[in-house]
Structures are given as structure tokens and as C-alpha cells.
């Protein structure tokens, strides 16, 4: 896998809404004090990794996480809407349990399920992956043999892991960590999870 791109796909640090288990989606919520600390700790853990590029969702919680992680590195954070969290529509700002009652533990839903449950104001999995997969493939091809940092969101990362067949624990048993990450190898076609520090 010498010519594969190594992508550190990272979830943003904690926000007040994460702490209260409120759904964020596209709502632009900043990191809380703990989220800043988590990001610093991850930056320390990854300090010896040479990143060729850094990409972040354009939401402030992700941008700030990326900035803190690469504080000691002379790199610019490139922001993009393709790394945004899933749009949760009318559920944004509501407790996660309200959505889990409808969608179950993993909060996945196809276009058919979306239509059946009348959840057209929420992005379905196909829509989320329709923006993310082309982007991550382009990055993997452009940075073959290099390390890249991507800071994104839990909903997008769960949809991606489901797409590539990665078995995830139930939300109630092991929720996704803030500032957790995956190390993914990709040639622009296939994706291989090489390390998981996310659950």
C-alpha cells in the first residue's frame, strides 16, 4: 500500500450540544472547553505525523478542531461543505433520543426509508455519501503516498463506515468519541480502515 493515501478522518471536539446530546447537523455550534482540550490532546498524539494537507468541514466546531490539531505545523486548513455533518432539519437542537425513537440505534436511513418516514428535511445516506465519496476519492488520488488530515462529523463518518461495511457498535453501548479518528488507506477507489480510535 505504498502509493495509497493515508487519511486521518477525525471527528470534531466536543461542543455544548454534544454534552447535552442535542442534534447539531448544520447548526454552527462552537467547541466547548472540553472540546478545545480534546483537540489539543489529539494534536499532541499526532504531532509526529507529517500532513501534506488539512481539510475541514466549514462548520466552526470542525475548523477549530483542525486549527488546534495542526497548531505547531505550518499548514492552512482548507474548508469545504462536502465534509459537513448530515442536515438534520427539524431535529436540529432536539435530544438525540427523539430521532432514535424513529430511526433506531445507528441513525441510518436510505432514500426509501426517508420517504416512508416523511423525513425529507433530513439528508439521507445516499445524499451524504453523494457529496463525501467523490471528495475523499479525489483527495486520495491527489495525495498518493501522503498523509492527509480531514476533520468532519459523527453522522457523516457513521454513514461512510456503513458504506464500506465497517461494523460499528450500538450508539447506546459505545458512542462515537469527540476528537476520535480513523486511519484510512485509499487508492481513490477502495478504502481500508487501518486503525480505529473512534468508539
Task: List, for residues 110-169, the tens digit of each pLDDT value.
Answer: 788 888 888 889 999 999 999 999 999 999 999 999 999 999 999 999 999 999 999 888
String of b and e for 167-185 (b: at least 16 CB within 10 Å)?
ebeebeeeebbbbbbbbbb
Mean predicted lDDT score pLDDT of the chain: 93
In the chain, what are the domain boundaries? 5-197
Distances 94 to 8, 18, 69 between C-alpha atoms, Å: 30, 11, 29
pLDDT tens figures, 164-194: 999 888 776 788 999 999 999 999 999 999 9
Instruction: Read off the pLDDT band of 109 (50, 70, 90).
Output: confident
Q: Is the dihedral of CA 186, 171, 97, 34 positive or negative?
A: negative
As a CATH number, domain 5-197 is: 3.40.50.1240
Q: Quick one: pLDDT band at residue 105, thresholds 50, 70, 90?
A: low
Residue 64, phi then psi, degrees to nearest 5: -65, -40
pLDDT at 107 over 70: no
pLDDT of 113 = 80
Amino acid at each position: 500500500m505504498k502509493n495509497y493515501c493515508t487519511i486521518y478522518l477525525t471527528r470534531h471536539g466536543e461542543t455544548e450540544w454534544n454534552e447535552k446530546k442535542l442534534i447539531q447537523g448544520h447548526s454552527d455550534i462552537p467547541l466547548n472547553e472540553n472540546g478545545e482540550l480534546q483537540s489539543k490532546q489529539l494534536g499532541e498524539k499526532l504531532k509526529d505525523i507529517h500532513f501534506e494537507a488539512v481539510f475541514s468541514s466549514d462548520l466552526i466546531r470542525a475548523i477549530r478542531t483542525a486549527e488546534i490539531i495542526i497548531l505547531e505545523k505550518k499548514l492552512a486548513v482548507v474548508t469545504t461543505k462536502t465534509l459537513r455533518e448530515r442536515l438534520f432539519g427539524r431535529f436540529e437542537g432536539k435530544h438525540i433520543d427523539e430521532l432514535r425513537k424513529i430511526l433506531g440505534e445507528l441513525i441510518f436511513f436510505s432514500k426509501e426509508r426517508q420517504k416512508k418516514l416523511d423525513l425529507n428535511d433530513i439528508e439521507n445516506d445516499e445524499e451524504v455519501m453523494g457529496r463525501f465519496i467523490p471528495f475523499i476519492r479525489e483527495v486520495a488520488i491527489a495525495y498518493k503516498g501522503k498523509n492527509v488530515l480531514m476533520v468532519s462529523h459523527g453522522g457523516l463518518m457513521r454513514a461512510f463506515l456503513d458504506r464500506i461495511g465497517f461494523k460499528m457498535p450500538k450508539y447506546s453501548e459505545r458512542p462515537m468519541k469527540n476528537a476520535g479518528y480513523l486511519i484510512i488507506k485509499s487508492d481513490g477507489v477502495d478504502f481500508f480502515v487501518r486503525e480505529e480510535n473512534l468508539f
